[in-house]
Amino acid sequence: MIIDKDSDITLVELHRSYLCHLDEAKLLSKKILECQEKLDVHIGKESCLLKMQLRSQHQIMDKQRELVDAVHRLSSETIGLREAWKATQGTIKVGRVIGGFLKWVGGFGIVVAVVAWLSNATKHIN
């Protein structure tokens, strides 16, 4: 670039402007590097956190599978117990019916005994 004598800008002013822009560029470059370092640190932390969360989710899923398997095992192993419980409930119902019948027979027997006693008592009186 050739500057003539009539120009308002001198070489010294151009050199100063160049140095000023060079200093600004150096500062911007330094700020960009600082921001890049901060971003790298932040990405590293988030990556570690993500790995920990994924590990926790896998552990939770494994435990959930174990629980589902345990429930299925318990269900299959206690099917006989459930059937026995149902049978016991049926036996209890039958026992109640028989108990009610025996109570009725007992009450009827008491009435028959009282009538027989009164009948014998009246025979002795006559």
| Pair 3, 10: CB distance under 8 Å | yes
Q: Which domain holds residue 66?
A: 9-77
* Same domain, yes or no: 14 and 42: yes
In a domain, 70, yes or no: yes
* 17 and 46 assigned to the same domain: yes
Q: What are the C-alpha distances in Å from 75 to residues 44, 49, 90, 110, 122?
A: 47, 39, 22, 50, 68
pTM of the model: 0.44
Q: What is the CA radius of gyration of the chain?
A: 51
Paired tokens of 114: 């009282």
Kindly state whether residues 27 and 44 are assigned to the same domain: yes
Number of domains present in the structure of the chain? 2
pLDDT at 9: 61
Residues 71 and 102 in one domain: no
* 4 domain residue, yes or no: no
15 and 72 in a single domain? The answer is yes
pLDDT in tens, 35-81: 999 999 999 999 999 999 999 999 999 999 999 999 999 888 888 88
